[in-house]
Structure 1
Amino acid sequence: MATEMDQLIQDLRNYRTPSGWHPGAPISRQILWFCVGSPLLSARWLPGSAWRVLLLRAFRARIGAGCRIKPGLRVKFPWRLVVGEACWLAEDAWLDNLATITLGDRVCLSQSAYLCTGNHNFHSPSFELRLGPITIGSDAWIAACAVLAPGTDVGPGAVVALGAVVSGIVPAGAIVRGNPSVVVGERISRSV
């Protein structure tokens, strides 16, 4: 039984989907994705990357040429995913894209990275949903177990280190780490 104080802080019975928000696809596509597409995409018993790219494209994701997608990848809404060319999306990465996620070219998204485009207003008793797209610039690396909050913008060539928690803007070429993440260096380009 909830006390009066509990209701003042967080009363989830009063939560409502935000006015005007929609998953972005007809219900038939949503059902097909959640029942067939999503389980196939994340299946570990099915090897291969090319068919995963085709599967995501079939559900209206925009994915450039030369991308590699590993088993275990989770995508909430493929129709809200834009991926540039030659990107790597690793095992157990989770693209929780209630809003659009955009990756530039040659982005490396490592194991168990979590990209979260939706959060809740914890100051409000009705816990309203707050959305923000995530953008990752070309040549950026999001290391294993990193977490990107709604509205995060990672600049081109930046590195988000192992387990970092990022909210806001990561400057181009910066190396960030920690929780909350802080700039600890600059990525130097070297000719090969």
Structure 2
Amino acid sequence: MHNLKLYIVTMIVHLFPESRMFAVKRGLYRWAGVKIGSNVRICSSATFMGAGMLSIGDDTWIGHRVFITSSSRVVIGSCVDVAPCVYIGTGSHRINIQGDHIAGEGYNADVVIGDGAWLCACSVILPGVEIGNKAVVAAGAVVTQNCEQQTISGGIPARKIKSLT
């Protein structure tokens, strides 16, 4: 993604009606370097940041006030539903008890969301996580490790609650 272009697009898109003008938004985000499939619907209050790569598959919904920050790579599959207030981030810090700041050296790790997955409201997807195809991440969950396909995961930290097969 191109930081300056993405900043400009974000300022413009936030002026649009929340759940309208999806084709225009797709075009603007593509111009800013986001790889977007067909029929992707992005709410106007969603925010994308970072110089990393963001790819969104066909027929995916990005809900209200979603925040995605990528300093490496975020891949969101096709037919994914991302509910309001979801956070997806590729960067964090290692804990450094010896330093002046306990948030020590920074690191980046890719995030991959499988086809047909559902990230429920206010869930948090941390660096290095893979969400399997048709997996559900429960509302308010903090995902720190991979979620198997066709399962429901929830809690802090998120754990497998139920298999859907």
Question: What is the identity, as a one-letter code, of the residue corresponding to 2:117?
Answer: A
Alignment match of 2:161 (pick from 167, 170, 184): 184
Q: Which amino acid aligns with 2:14?
A: S
Q: Cα distance 1:45–1:65, how it changes in 2: closer, same or farther (>3 A)?
A: closer
Q: Deviations for 1:4-63, whole angstroms, at most 9, x for unmatched residues? A: xxxxxxxxxxxxxxxxxxxxx6xxx423332x2121233355742111111111112111
Structure 2: any 5+ residue segments left out of the alignment?
Answer: none
TM-score by length of 1: 0.77
- Partners of 1:107 and 1:94 lie apart in 2 by 15
Distance 1:117 1:96, change over 3 A: same
* Preserved CA contact (<8 Å) 1:59 1:79: no
* CA-atom RMSD in angstroms: 1.8
Specify which structure has the higher proportion of strand: 2
2:43 corresponds to which of 70, 92, 116: 70
Equivalent residue number for residue 71 of structure 2: 98
Counterparts of 1:12-161 in structure 2 under 5 Å? 29-34=2-7, 36-43=8-15, 45=17, 47-77=20-50, 80-123=53-96, 125=99, 127-161=104-138
* CA–CA separation in structure 2 for the residues paired with 1:163 and 1:98: 24
Moved more, 101-110 or 120-129: 120-129
C-alpha distance in structure 1 between counterparts of 2:34 and 2:51, whole Å: 5
Length, aligned pairs only: 160
Query: Which is helix-richer, 1 or 2?
Result: 1
Distance (Å, rounded) in 1 between the aligned partners of 2:88 and 2:49: 10
Q: Is 2:34–2:53's contact at 8 Å kept on the other side of the alignment?
A: yes
**Residue type of the alignment partner of 1:108:** D
- Identical columns (%): 24
Whether the aligned pair in 2 keeps the contact of 1:160 and 1:177 (CA below 8 Å) is yes
TM-score normalised by L of structure 2: 0.89
> Looking at CA atoms only, which structure, 1 or 2, has the larger radius of gyration?
1
Q: In structure 2, what is the Cα distance between the partners aligned to 1:40 and 1:187? A: 40
